[in-house]
Structure 1
Amino acid sequence: MLRLLADRFLLALLGIVALSSVLPVRGALVEPFSIATDIAIALVFFLQGARLSRATVVAGFTHWRLHLMVFAATFVLFPLLGLAAGLLVPTLLSPALYAGILFLCVLPSTIQSSIAFTSIAHGNVSAAVCSASASNILGMFLTPLLVGLLFSARGSGPSLEAVGSILVQLLLPFVVGQVLQPRIGKWVIENGRILGLVDRGSILLVVYIAFSHAVVDGLWHKLSALDLAVMVGVDVVLLALVLAVTTASARLLGFSREDEITIVFCGSKKSLASGVPMAKVIFAGQDTGTILLPLMLFHQIQLMACAVLARHYADRRLKEMDAEEPLPAQA
């Protein structure tokens, strides 16, 4: 639990943001660093494809009502709330920060933290594995498509014509990883600790390039403390609404406690690991540093809030088990 709350990876991200603020990439270094980030993005999605077992994902689709709830929260409820946040523009949110909120809302769910919190809360772990994995697979198609639809309607972001080429850049490495998964999947899982460092290193590299570009363009002159405070507030309200809606919907539709836990934790997460490289590809040539800020803040907010919520579910389960346990016989 303490590891989740501390989130050393977030500390590394903050360090990278600080480094890019002091030593941004500029001039002749931009092109080689951009090539390196393209390779890093391909590697991230290749490893995602190599890790996911097709048998596990296919087997989980039998619980279709639960998965439908998670997908609706991830790719319908979140985008609708993101569109509603547009009412805050330009009075409270700048157009660039709102673009980040909208991008955050169309991302897939996380895999690792969704499963970890579901396990801590005594939820349906097998369904969480399948639902979170499937969310990331569908996100390869749906996130670029939703970005194309929502941002084009606002007159920004990639055009619908560009979505096809974006899909190739994101999907092709993933498909190659899936094709090779029967041969290398076991090795990838066994070396997860080392390859996890490669994964995180790739994301940090993409963040460094994105924020370097933003800093050179005057990010910290454009962004005030009030902007950051408003952004945190929007992220908190967004997460609170999704947690409330998913909990109420699961209970209203008669899901078991275990399934409710899975729906709540898988449906309320947004993936930083997928979002960072996706932003680099989807918003190529734009201010990706500002666009990524809401996602980076949301990442830590969701970890802290869901850590508390998971412990609440776990404590409630323990109390119920104690109440069900028969009293010892009197002598």
Structure 2
Amino acid sequence: MNGFIISLVLAIILAYFFPTALQELPVNIITNIGIGLIFFFYGLKLAPEELKLGFLNYRSHLLIQFSTFLLFPLLTFLFIPFFEGGIQSDLWLAVFFLGVLPSTVSSSVVMVAIARGNLPTAIFNASISGLIGILITPLWMSFFIAKSGDFDFLGILYKLFLQIVLPLFMGLVLQQYLGKIARKHSRELGYLDKAVIILIVYTSFSNSYNSGLFEIIKIVDLIKFAGIVILLFFGMYSILGLLCKWLGFDLRDTITAKFCGTKKSLVHGSVMVKIIFGASASVGIFLLPIMLYHILQLLVITVFAEKYGKREDLVPE
């Protein structure tokens, strides 16, 4: 199994048995610095020439972004009747939060490359999705949390600007000096992303365990999460396949649309859940669907990518 997935599971287990292990450390400061570094290095690694290659494929861009930020969120509304309290339920809101997240960057590009899809288009969409999500994700969430008085939309945008946009911009500015070095050591820098996410997961679940939140969540709720995540993934994958066929996409663009349009970013999810909900005890609940979806998308898309990559021609299946 993927080492990162194992690490996430271990972080949850450690949070259960040792919820106060890191209470003497300035964890909040450490994670804030880590988040800034993640997006600073992301800005350094962005290759402008690759973005330019994919820029003109506007039909694919529109479909992927439409799927990521509109179609996927709307699908989550189908599951409202399965939660007591409807849209007021934190459990459904956690599923909705998954639905409004941007696409992944690295895994989308890697999988499209393995499947021999349209790589420049994948790079462009995976990169632009995270930037769009900085505005769209909190905007979507504001429709359901603002009434409670706990959601400061402008305040959240300000925090997202400081922790994501500003470091990203600094990385882009310094790219001409440090870009080649960052891309050369991309694998090593990827460990920073994973370490920060694992720390956020640990602290989030520690807070949830300490508050007793998980004591009121039943096994049936966890099974419900797993079932919904599976239905969302395969539902989106199938719908995108039909839309690509209707729009007359060739196989390379179809692969790219289905891979990028179904992905959800655990990196952005972990960062945004921390910024939007802070140290709230319910943060662990909001991370659960994202983590389950992350595991599923990695396992399934890897299988699909290898199958596509072995084809001998470019004739649609």
TM-score by length of 2: 0.91
Q: Report SS of the residue matched to 2:179.
A: helix
Question: How far off is 1:238 after superposition?
Answer: 0.6
Whether contact under 8 Å (2:117, 2:253) holds in the other structure is yes
Distance in 2 (alpha carbons) for counterparts of 1:275 and 1:230:
20
- Aligned equivalent of 2:215: 221
- Aligned equivalent of 1:168: 161
Which amino acid counterpart does residue 22 of structure 1 have in structure 2? F
1:53 aligns with 2:47: yes
| Larger gyration radius, structure 1 or structure 2 | 1
Q: Report SS of the residue matched to 1:29.
A: coil
Q: Select the residue among 144, 151, 157 that pairs with 1:158.
A: 151
Question: How far off is 1:156 after superposition?
Answer: 7.0
Q: Report SS of the residue matched to 2:215.
A: helix
TM-score by length of 1: 0.87
Q: Report SS of the residue matched to 2:136.
A: helix
Question: How far off is 1:27 after superposition?
Answer: 9.3
Question: How far off is 1:314 after superposition?
Answer: 3.6
Q: Report SS of the residue matched to 1:203.
A: helix
Q: Select the residue among 103, 121, 130 that pairs with 1:109.
A: 103
Which amino acid counterpart does residue 18 of structure 2 have in structure 1? L
- Aligned equivalent of 1:89: 83
1:307 aligns with 2:265: no
- Aligned equivalent of 1:73: 67
Moved more, 84-93 or 125-134: 84-93
1:208 aligns with 2:186: no
Identity of aligned residues (%): 33
- Aligned equivalent of 2:135: 141
Q: Select the residue among 283, 286, 294 that pairs with 1:288.
A: 283
Moved more, 180-189 or 50-59: 50-59
Question: How far off is 1:150 after superposition?
Answer: 4.2
Q: Report SS of the residue matched to 1:123.
A: coil
Q: Report SS of the residue matched to 2:64.
A: helix
Whether contact under 8 Å (1:144, 1:167) holds in the other structure is no
Moved more, 264-273 or 277-286: 277-286
- Aligned equivalent of 2:115: 121
Whether contact under 8 Å (1:110, 1:132) holds in the other structure is yes
Q: Select the residue among 235, 238, 251 that pairs with 1:244.
A: 238
- Aligned equivalent of 2:10: 15
Count of matched residue pairs: 313
Deviations 1:136-159 (A, max 9, x none): 222222222222234336x47623
1:279–1:18 CA distance, 2 compared to 1 (3 A): same
1:196–1:161 CA distance, 2 compared to 1 (3 A): closer
Deviations 1:247-270 (A, max 9, x none): 000010101111000000000000
Whether contact under 8 Å (2:156, 2:275) holds in the other structure is no
Question: How far off is 1:94 after superposition?
Answer: 8.8
Distance in 1 (alpha carbons) for counterparts of 2:246 and 2:80:
29
Whether contact under 8 Å (1:21, 1:212) holds in the other structure is yes
Distance in 2 (alpha carbons) for counterparts of 1:260 and 1:19:
41
Question: How far off is 1:87 after superposition?
Answer: 2.6
1:54–1:16 CA distance, 2 compared to 1 (3 A): same
Distance in 2 (alpha carbons) for counterparts of 1:38 and 1:229:
33
Moved more, 11-20 or 129-138: 129-138
Which amino acid counterpart does residue 249 of structure 1 have in structure 2? L
Distance in 2 (alpha carbons) for counterparts of 1:24 and 1:131:
38
